[in-house]
């Protein structure tokens, strides 16, 4: 058994209470949600905090997936498993279910949360790639109220986010646009392993041409990466294998992978290409199925 | 006879259990499944303290000073112990099982990342762990020797300056076979194929890490050690020799063990630290490794670079095999193998083939990596040997453009050639190889698979069919050839039948999950007709079991299984004499029918073994010269190893876009001789096959150039899950061992030995369109893709 260093523990009962506790704790305080990223680091003593503020009691308040107008809103305490099982998400943004099928294992998914995933800001983290692909925005709450930031602004670097010391992420908002679908592909060395590389795509079409498209990659750069060049290249074009190949090539160029036990730089670039093509192809396929 | 994958519904439940061999649920499982097992970490004694070990963050560094002041001052800390403290007691170094020495705590230098440097004893595990962070070690970094190929370079840093007159990192040289004769055969061969084959360093990673609870009774001078050990008796003797404590005052208890795979054969510094801590504090002390400690510091496996050469005629008759091996033994030679076999049983690298000559030379070196070498269900390096020959045969098939099965069938040792002495001197006891191979082909539908592959290839799909055929050599001794630190590899066994006909069997071996409580009860049941559920099997406690060398190298059934059968026969012989008295006939007039003796020709006149048992303790006289009671003991010294074998076929599909390998099917035909409990055999095979998938596709303990271990957690060191393995398709043939009392051979490691080459052969076969003849494990997607690009595969 790996054992962490000593720390204080507090259990938040409301979001306001959590923010209060964060204020009291200063920069030695940390939120623990599912704990599946935080606790392993603490047990390995790679990280240590004076105080953990447990927000699992806030699942009632922050565990939801609902449509409001032309947005899907997801509370930050929504667990992986709830994202996986949500039919609303599966029909609106199938990329979520695709991704959840390949994130960790059931034990981790029962506990790990959307908020924890995004706030961990691990470059290999899958839900960040999903949210980037979907152009989601993040609602951050502090003592002085809420602010909304885009995914691009949310991630500041590996393991760094826009969430301040006395703030927390409360919600993710995903805009719904007509005529769209999405998909996610990941290569892993073994089920439950982090991605060697993964790619998410969202495509919107009207009258047989792509009106907009977005691609998000994970594990091939310092942060999960959205690639505007791909959006530009695809807009206004009819989907074709050549077009997907062009997008794949752009993805391979845009990323900046590093060599590690999961693979070589060349291989990861190749995957960025291959998986981007697959994700785009699948998205378009799904749009066509909806139309049929 | 064949079996195909057993399903749950087919299990014979224990209400209809066999009296003897047959399928029955494991007796130990209710306890283990309900969480009622008793593992070392479950042992909690009053006043028990906890020990945590400070390990070196560096692979190679001189210790300039150690400051323990802050750690010792932490509330709840009882003591901090360093190498210098142990040196005062003469305990800073201990012998390894390979006649080398290993530091218990480093005094001069650290020689691998994760090496033991100091330990804290505290009131809780948490405090002990906090305390070691407060120990301040001043290191002077030395250049590490990481690349095994550079270990003998003249400018390589000297690792073992503790050894007298040592000037380089050479560990040992070893050879087997006939170099000149082999050269002569190579000279006349039509075809010679050469291939470098790497078996990377892997780790057995048992679910339960290593640990111990030490209790020293100062009044009695008695040490009790609950310990994760596969060899409790051997460990006790070694502790007695090292510590000077008298052997009868040492009791080793190996309670339930959560997996061993060889990882729990060596004596680790942690055990010694726990004993020292108990002596120093006078309190019971628990030491339990965490996962990272287990992965970075305990017995690894493999780490051989093998240069293979195979010589053949152009029509595919294999003539000779030759290899030079560069073996990485880490910082200390901690190999656990019979002492005369520094390369374990690697000498069986001639495989299942009838050759004219064979030769192997080996150079073993020290590097700045964790010690170990023989672990992970390898039957003392037969994994490496089988991998070498089965890859080489496939390389030859590739060059000759021959079907790999045809090539094997052409070269198998024939049934009438057994007992067969190999060119490296091993006497294979029995085998019928072609039968097993043909059965595997039939179960696989080999010809149809080849057709399917052809079609798929024409469409650009990558499908591979891999074959391997292995011969194992398990059940060490005999004692004349095999010993560990002077302890002969023979095993005792004691059987006592209680008055009411229930029994207790005491073994020298120790299950780590193999199901001994069931298998051994069934062996005795078969011999004396007492139901297995009436037979209690005791093992693991040196105070109430007979001496023997323990469980590893698949030796339990070949050695202790024989002992159990023979001790039961001894009891039966005595029972027969008592029965003759009870039935008032001569011994020769009695006939045994499982569970009772009856008078020849008159089955109505009979006594059951239970009645005989009661009589043996009961009132009234026994026949002349017969002592009361019904019990016996023996020590079994095997006359030879047993040689299980098997034919494996693996089918893989590779995604051409991502290079991800999917094992679609795996057909395993095993021959372990007489089969005692089919369910347990299949379980052993399933586990070993999963291990094989792990080694072939994902497992590797890699190091960076500074000697940092890159496999220090199960996030980095991957082991396969249910999702990476197919439904196993198992079959079997039965070729009993001629010299084993019940004809049984070991099965524990067959699948781990046989499966990696089948999987690698399948992957390489799938990559044939790319002109690829070989690729090294682990075949991760990245490595497969790099291979497809024709690039040399990186070291990690
Ligand atoms: C074995 C294993 C395999 C895994 N495999 C994958 C994988 O394949 N893909 C993948 O994407 N992930 C994987 N994960 C990570 C998993 O998804 C984590 O659960 C997730 O990344 C973090 O969620 P959590 O709720 O557990 O966060 P925690 O561990 O509780 O927290 C993580 C960080 O976020 C902060 N935090 C949490 N919630 C908030 C909030 N609302 N506001 C502000 N800060 C917050 C915490 O303070 C902490 O710094 C794996 C984890 C494990 C253990």
> Distance between CA atoms of A227 and B366, rounded to whole angstroms?
49
Closest C-alpha residue for ligand 1 atom 47: A31
Confidence band, pLDDT 50/70/90 cuts, at residue B5: very low
* pLDDT over 50 at B1, yes or no: no
> Distance between CA atoms of A150 and A131, rounded to whole angstroms?
10
Per-residue pLDDT, averaged over B47-62, amounts to: 98
Give the B window 17-56 contacts with A, CB below 8 Å. Answer: 41
Is the CB of residue B789 less than 8 Å away from at least one CB of chain A? Answer: yes
Contact B723 A191 (CB under 8 A): yes
Q: Collect all residues of chain B within an 8 Å Cβ-Cβ radius of residue A267.
A: 659, 781-782, 785-786
Per-residue pLDDT, averaged over A112-122, amounts to: 97
* pLDDT attached to residue B575: 98
Confidence band, pLDDT 50/70/90 cuts, at residue A222: confident
**Residue B142, strand partner residues:** none
* pLDDT attached to residue B374: 85
The phi, psi pair for B715, rounded to 5°, reads: -85, -30
Q: Collect all residues of chain B within an 8 Å Cβ-Cβ radius of residue A278.
A: 657
Per-residue pLDDT, averaged over B389-413, amounts to: 98
pLDDT in tens, A178-213: 999 999 999 999 999 999 999 999 999 999 999 999
Per-residue pLDDT, averaged over B607-626, amounts to: 96
Per-residue pLDDT, averaged over B691-719, amounts to: 97
Structure-token match 């010299």, residue found: B739
Contact B782 A196 (CB under 8 A): yes
Per-residue pLDDT, averaged over B221-230, amounts to: 98
Give the A window 171-200 contacts with B, CB below 8 Å. Answer: 187, 189-194, 196
pLDDT in tens, B449-508: 999 999 999 999 999 999 999 999 999 999 999 999 999 999 999 999 999 999 999 999
pLDDT in tens, B561-613: 999 999 999 999 999 999 999 999 999 999 999 999 999 999 999 999 999 99
* pLDDT attached to residue B61: 98
Contact B710 A278 (CB under 8 A): no
Residues touching ligand 1 (Cβ under 6 Å) are A 30-38, 40, 76, 103-104, 108, 112-113, 115-117, 119-120, 125-127, 163, 168-169, 192, 194
CA distance B330 to chain A (A): 21
Atom of ligand 1 nearest to the CA of A186: 8
Confidence band, pLDDT 50/70/90 cuts, at residue A170: very high
Give the nearest partner residue to A190 out of B657, B710, B724, using CB atoms. Answer: B724
CA distance A271 to chain B (A): 7
C-alpha triplet B224, B226, B228: angle, nearest 5°: 145
Name the residue of A15, A17, A80, A104 whose CB sits within 8 Å of the most ligand 1 atoms, as the mutation to test its pocket.
A104
Token readout for B276 is: 């020292």
Three-class HEC string of chain A: CCCCCCCEEEECCCHHHHHHHHHHHHHHEEEECCCCCHHHHHHCCCCCCCEEEECHHHHHHHCCEEEECCEEEEECCCEHHHHHHCHHHHHHCHHHHHHHHCCCCHHHHCCCEHHHHHHHCCCCCHHHHHHHHCCCEEEEEECCEEEEEEHHHHEEECCEECCCCCCEEEEEEEECCCCEEEEEEEECCCCCCCCCEEEEEEEEEECCEEEEEEEEEECCCCCCEECHHHHHHHCCCCCCHHHHHHHHHHHHHHCCCCCECCECHHHHHHHHHHHHHHHHHHHHHHHHHHHC
Q: Which residue of B has its CA nearest to A185?
A: B658
> Distance between CA atoms of A53 and A41, rounded to whole angstroms?
16
- Torsion over CA of B335, B337, B339 and B341, rounded to 10 degrees? -100
> Distance between CA atoms of B85 and B69, rounded to whole angstroms?
14
CA atoms within 13 A on the CB side of B423: 25
Confidence band, pLDDT 50/70/90 cuts, at residue B9: very low
Q: Which residue of B has its CA nearest to A277?
A: B657
Is the CB of residue B74 less than 8 Å away from at least one CB of chain A? Answer: no
pLDDT in tens, A65-89: 999 999 999 999 999 999 999 999 9
Q: Which residue of A has its CA nearest to B208?
A: A1
* pLDDT attached to residue B95: 94
* pLDDT over 70 at B45, yes or no: yes
Atom of ligand 1 nearest to the CA of A36: 26
Burial class (CB in 10 A: 0-12, 13-18, 19+), B711: buried
Q: Collect all residues of chain A within an 8 Å Cβ-Cβ radius of residue B700.
A: 261
* pLDDT over 90 at A216, yes or no: yes
ipTM over 0.95: yes
Confidence band, pLDDT 50/70/90 cuts, at residue B794: low
SS3 B630: strand
> Distance between CA atoms of B228 and B247, rounded to whole angstroms?
19
Structure-token match 């991704």, residue found: A99
CA distance B146 to chain A (A): 17
* pLDDT attached to residue B522: 98
H-run or E-run covering B279: helix B269-281
> Distance between CA atoms of B723 and A199, rounded to whole angstroms?
22
pTM of the model: 0.97
Contact A264 B794 (CB under 8 A): yes
Confidence band, pLDDT 50/70/90 cuts, at residue A292: low
Taking the centre of ligand 1 as the mean of its atom positions, its distance from the CA of residue A42, in whole angstroms, is: 13
* pLDDT over 80 at B793, yes or no: no
Q: Collect all residues of chain B within an 8 Å Cβ-Cβ radius of residue A275.
A: 658
Q: Collect all residues of chain B within an 8 Å Cβ-Cβ radius of residue A274.
A: 657-658
Closest C-alpha residue for ligand 1 atom 6: A104
Taking the centre of ligand 1 as the mean of its atom positions, its distance from the CA of residue B565, in whole angstroms, is: 55
* pLDDT over 90 at B6, yes or no: no
Contact B100, B169 (CB under 8 A): no
Is the CB of residue A6 less than 8 Å away from at least one CB of chain B? Answer: yes
B127, B658, B723, B779: best to mutate for the A interface, most A CBs within 10 A: B658
The phi, psi pair for B581, rounded to 5°, reads: -65, -45
Per-residue pLDDT, averaged over B130-144, amounts to: 98
Taking the centre of ligand 1 as the mean of its atom positions, its distance from the CA of residue B171, in whole angstroms, is: 46
Token readout for B63 is: 């210790």
Structure-token match 């503020």, residue found: A53
* pLDDT attached to residue B240: 95
Per-residue pLDDT, averaged over B707-727, amounts to: 96
H-run or E-run covering B468: strand B462-471
**H helices of B112-218, where?**
125-133, 179-188
* pLDDT over 60 at B448, yes or no: yes
Contact B781 A267 (CB under 8 A): yes
Return mean pLDDT, chain B: 96
DSSP letter, residue B155? T
Is the CB of residue A105 less than 8 Å away from at least one CB of chain B? Answer: yes
pLDDT in tens, B742-784: 999 999 999 999 999 999 999 999 999 999 999 999 999 999 9
pLDDT in tens, B168-187: 999 999 999 999 999 999 99
* pLDDT over 90 at B76, yes or no: yes
Residue B119 contacts by C-beta under 8 Å, 6 or more apart in sequence? B51, B52, B53, B54, B80, B81, B105, B132, B273, B277, B287
CA distance A30 to chain B (A): 20
Pairing state between β B300-312 and B372-373:
parallel
């Amino acid at each position: 058994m790996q054992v962490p260093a000593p720390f204080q523990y507090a259990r938040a009962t409301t979001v306001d209470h959590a923010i209060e506790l964060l204020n009291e704790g200063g920069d030695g305080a940390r939120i623990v949600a599912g704990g599946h990223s935080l606790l392993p680091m603490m047990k390995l003593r790679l990280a240590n905090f004076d105080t953990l503020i447990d927000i699992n009691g806030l699942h009632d308040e922050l565990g939801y997936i609902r449509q409001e107008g032309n947005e899907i809103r997801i509370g930050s305490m929504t667990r992986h498993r709830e994202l996986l099982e949500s039919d609303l998400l599966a029909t609106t943004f199938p990329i979520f279910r695709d991704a959840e099928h390949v994130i960790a294992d059931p034990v981790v998914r029962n506990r790990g949360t959307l908020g924890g995933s995004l706030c961990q800001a691990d470059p290999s983290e899958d839900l960040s790639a999903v949210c980037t692909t979907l152009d989601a925005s993040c609602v951050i709450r502090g003592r002085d109220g809420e602010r909304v930031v885009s995914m691009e602004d949310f991630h500041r670097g590996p393991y760094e986010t826009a969430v301040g010391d006395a703030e927390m992420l409360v919600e993710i908002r995903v805009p719904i646009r007509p005529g769209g679908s999405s998909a996610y592909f990941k290569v892993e060395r073994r089920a439950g392993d982090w991605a060697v590389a993964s790619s998410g795509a969202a495509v919107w079409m009207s009258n047989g041409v792509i009106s907009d498209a977005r691609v998000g990659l994970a594990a091939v750069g310092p942060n999960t990466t959205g690639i505007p060049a791909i959006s530009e290249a695809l807009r206004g074009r009819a989907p074709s294998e050549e077009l997907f190949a062009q997008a794949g090539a752009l993805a391979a160029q845009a990323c900046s992978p590093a060599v590690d036990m999961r693979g070589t730089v060349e291989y990861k670039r190749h995957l960025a290409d291959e998986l981007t093509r697959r994700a785009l192809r699948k998205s378009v396929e799904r749009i066509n199925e909806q139309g049929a | 006879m064949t079996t195909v994958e057993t399903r749950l519904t087919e299990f014979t439940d224990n209400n209809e259990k066999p009296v003897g061999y047959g399928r029955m649920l494991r007796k130990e499982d209710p306890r283990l499944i309900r969480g009622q097992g008793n593992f070392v970490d479950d042992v909690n004694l009053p006043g028990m303290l906890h020990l945590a070990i400070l390990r070196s963050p560096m692979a190679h560094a001189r210790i300039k000073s150690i400051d323990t002041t802050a750690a010792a001052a932490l509330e709840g800390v009882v003591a901090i112990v360093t190498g210098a403290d142990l040196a005062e007691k003469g305990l800073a170094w201990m012998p390894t099982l390979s006649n080398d020495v290993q530091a218990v705590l480093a005094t001069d230098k650290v020689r691998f990342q994760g090496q033991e440097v100091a330990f804290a004893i505290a009131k809780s595990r948490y405090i002990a762990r906090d305390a070691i962070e407060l120990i301040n070690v001043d290191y002077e970094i030395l250049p590490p020797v990481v690349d095994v190929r550079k270990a003998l370079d003249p400018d390589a840093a000297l690792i073992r300056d503790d050894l007298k007159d040592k000037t380089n990192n050479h560990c040992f040289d070893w050879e087997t076979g006939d170099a000149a004769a082999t050269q002569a055969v190579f000279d006349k061969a039509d075809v010679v194929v050469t291939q470098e084959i790497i078996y990377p360093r892997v780790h057995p990673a048992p679910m339960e890490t290593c640990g111990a609870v030490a209790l020293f009774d100062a009044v009695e001078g008695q040490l009790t050690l609950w310990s994760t050990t596969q060899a409790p008796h051997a460990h006790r003797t070694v502790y007695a020799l090292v510590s000077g404590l008298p052997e009868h005052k040492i009791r080793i208890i190996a309670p339930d063990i959560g997996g061993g795979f060889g990882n729990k054969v060596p004596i680790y510094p942690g055990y010694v630290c726990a004993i020292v801590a108990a002596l120093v504090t006078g309190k019971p002390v628990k030491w339990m490794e965490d996962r990272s400690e287990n992965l970075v510091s305990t017995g690894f496996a493999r780490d051989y670079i093998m240069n293979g050469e195979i010589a053949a005629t152009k029509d595919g008759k294999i003539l000779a095999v030759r290899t030079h091996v560069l073996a990485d033994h880490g910082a200390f030679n901690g190999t656990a193998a019979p002492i005369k076999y520094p390369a374990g049983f690697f000498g069986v690298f001639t495989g299942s083939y009838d050759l004219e000559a064979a030769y192997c030379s080996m150079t073993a070196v020290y590097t700045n990596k964790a010690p170990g070498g023989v672990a992970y269900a390898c039957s003392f390096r037969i994994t490496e040997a089988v991998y070498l020959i089965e890859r080489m045969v496939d390389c030859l098939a590739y060059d000759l453009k021959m079907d790999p099965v045809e090539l094997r069938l052409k070269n198998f040792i024939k049934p009438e050639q057994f007992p067969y002495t190999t060119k490296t001197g091993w006497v294979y006891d029995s085998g019928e190889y072609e039968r097993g191979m043909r059965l595997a082909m039939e179960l696989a539908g080999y010809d149809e698979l080849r057709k399917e592959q052809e079609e798929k290839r024409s469409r650009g799909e990558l499908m591979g069919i891999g074959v391997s055929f292995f011969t194992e050599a398990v059940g060490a001794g005999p004692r004349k050839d095999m010993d560990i630190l002077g302890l002969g590899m023979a095993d005792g066994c004691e059987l006592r039948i209680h008055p009411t006909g229930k029994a207790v069997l005491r073994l020298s071996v120790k299950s780590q999950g193999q199901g001994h409580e069931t298998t051994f009860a069934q062996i005795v049941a078969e011999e004396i007709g007492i139901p297995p559920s009436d037979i209690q099997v005791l093992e693991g406690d040196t105070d109430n079991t007979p001496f023997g060398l323990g469980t590893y190298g698949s030796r339990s059934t070949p050695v202790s299984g024989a002992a159990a059968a023979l001790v039961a026969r001894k009891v039966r012989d005595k029972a027969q004499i008592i029965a003759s008295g009870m039935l008032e006939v001569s011994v020769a007039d009695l006939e045994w029918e499982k569970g009772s003796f009856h008078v020849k020709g008159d089955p109505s006149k009979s006594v059951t073994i239970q009645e005989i048992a009661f009589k043996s303790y009961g009132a009234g006289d026994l026949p002349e010269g017969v002592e009361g009671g019904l019990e016996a003991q023996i020590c079994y010294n095997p006359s030879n190893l047993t040689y299980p074998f098997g034919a494996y076929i693996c089918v893989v599909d590779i995604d051409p876009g991502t290079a991800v390998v999917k094992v679609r099917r795996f057909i395993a035909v095993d021959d372990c001789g007489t089969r005692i409990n089919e369910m347990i055999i299949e379980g052993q095979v399933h586990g070993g096959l999963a291990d094989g998938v792990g080694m072939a596709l994902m497992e590797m303990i890699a190091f960076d150039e500074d000697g940092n271990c890159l496999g220090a957690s199960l996030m980095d060191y991957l082991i396969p899950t249910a999702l990476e393995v197919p439904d196993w398709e198992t079959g079997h043939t039965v070729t009993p061992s001629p010299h084993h009392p019940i004809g049984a051979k070991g099965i524990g490691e067959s699948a781990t030995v046989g499966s990696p080459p089948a999987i690698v052969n399948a992957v390489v076969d799938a990559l044939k369109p790319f002109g690829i003849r070989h690729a090294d494990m682990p075949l991760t997607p990245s490595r497969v893709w790099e291979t497809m690009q024709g690039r040399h595969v990186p070291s990690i």
